[in-house]
């Protein structure tokens, strides 16, 4: 009974209405404010956080409680929960989850550049010997490499879908963000998130 109201019955998102799944809402969407592509990046950040840590960054006993957490709480950084992960991945997720939209990625190009940097870090950590990922993907590295690969894939799908419906924003060679998935990856996108990773226009907010 904290006064939060959710209207999930309406169709397109408009100011004053709250539309969407509370667990994956951005702060501005939870408040019924106008949203843009930066709201989608916030939702992607939530999905990536859950994939990597096993739980959502914002929790509540009810939809209203979840919204309150999204608006007020600062989640524990993924590096603190999974110290074996690359620091740069934590920065990417943290920036996606910034509450003010102007502190998140401002364009798909910004996100693409950070993903490219993460790929370079992963490549520089790979041992010599010409065995590639199959040689590198051994415990304890196999697990986190699989997580990172799937995480990058999820972000890449979101970027490609967003560019499809916003072609004037920037022209990106999307093959540059392709990533090889480790043999027998230990993590996959949870079933509940498959719809969120769909490239259909219905998952992206129309500003």
HEC per residue, 73-111? CCCCCHHHHCCCCCHHHHHHHHHHCCCCHHHCCCCHHHH
CA torsion 117→188→75→62, rounded to 10°? 150
Which residue's entry shows tokens 């993590």?
Answer: 187
Structure tokens, 45? 């950040």
Q: How confident is the model at residue 71 (pLDDT cuts 50, 70, 90)?
A: very high
Q: How many CB atoms lie within 10 A of CB 148?
A: 24
- Sign of the CA dihedral running 48, 54, 57, 63: positive
- Please state whether the peptide bond connecting residue 140 to the residue before it is cis, i.e. omega within 30 degrees of 0: yes
**C-alpha distance from residue 77 to each of 22, 46, 140, 175 (Å):** 21, 12, 21, 29
Look at residue 206 in the predicted model and tell me its pLDDT: 44
Look at residue 143 in the predicted model and tell me its pLDDT: 59
Q: What is the mean pLDDT of residues 80-104?
A: 89
- Sign of the CA dihedral running 139, 140, 141, 143: positive
Q: Are 186 and 143 in contact (CB under 8 A)?
A: yes
Look at residue 19 in the predicted model and tell me its pLDDT: 60
Q: Are 122 and 145 in contact (CB under 8 A)?
A: yes
Q: How far apart are CA 48 and CA 94, in angstroms?
A: 10
Residue 130, classed as helix, strand or coil, is coil
- Does residue 7 have a pLDDT over 50? no
- Does residue 93 have a pLDDT over 60? yes
- Does residue 168 have a pLDDT over 80? no
Q: How far apart are CA 179 and CA 101, in angstroms?
A: 28
Residues near 207 by Cβ (< 8 Å), separated by ≥ 6? Answer: 34, 35, 36, 37
pLDDT in tens, 116-155: 777 777 766 655 544 444 444 444 455 566 666 666 666 6
* Bigger pLDDT: 6 vs 117: 117
Q: How confident is the model at residue 170 (pLDDT cuts 50, 70, 90)?
A: very low
Whether CATH 1.20.120 fits 22-202: no
Look at residue 34 in the predicted model and tell me its pLDDT: 93
- Buried b or exposed e, range 84-113, using 16+ CB within 10 angstroms: ebbebbbbbbbbbbbeebeebbebbeebbe
pLDDT in tens, 51-66: 888 899 999 999 999 9
Domain ranges of the chain: 22-202
pLDDT in tens, 174-201: 334 333 333 333 344 444 454 444 444 4
- Does residue 76 have a pLDDT over 60? yes
Look at residue 166 in the predicted model and tell me its pLDDT: 56
Could you give the percent of the chain with pLDDT greater than 70? Answer: 48
């Amino acid at each position: 009974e904290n006064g939060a109201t959710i209207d999930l019955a309406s169709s397109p998102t408009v100011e004053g209405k709250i539309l969407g799944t509370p667990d994956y809402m951005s702060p501005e969407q939870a408040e019924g404010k106008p949203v843009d592509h930066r709201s989608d990046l916030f939702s992607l950040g939530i999905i990536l956080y859950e994939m990597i840590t096993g739980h959502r960054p914002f929790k509540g006993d009810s939809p209203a409680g979840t919204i309150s957490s999204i608006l007020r709480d600062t989640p524990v950084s993924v590096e603190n929960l999974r110290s074996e992960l690359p620091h740069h991945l934590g920065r990417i997720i943290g920036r996606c989850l910034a509450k003010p939209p102007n502190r998140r990625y401002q364009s798909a190009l910004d996100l693409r550049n950070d993903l490219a940097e993460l790929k370079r870090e992963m490549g520089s950590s790979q041992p010599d010997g010409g065995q590639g990922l199959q040689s590198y993907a051994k415990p304890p590295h196999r697990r986190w490499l699989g997580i990172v690969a799937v995480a990058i894939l999820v972000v890449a799908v979101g970027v490609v879908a967003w560019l499809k419906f916003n072609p004037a924003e920037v022209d990106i060679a999307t093959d540059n963000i392709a990533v090889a998935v480790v043999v027998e990856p230990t993590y996959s996108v949870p079933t509940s998130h498959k719809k969120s990773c769909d490239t259909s226009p219905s998952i992206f907010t129309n500003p």
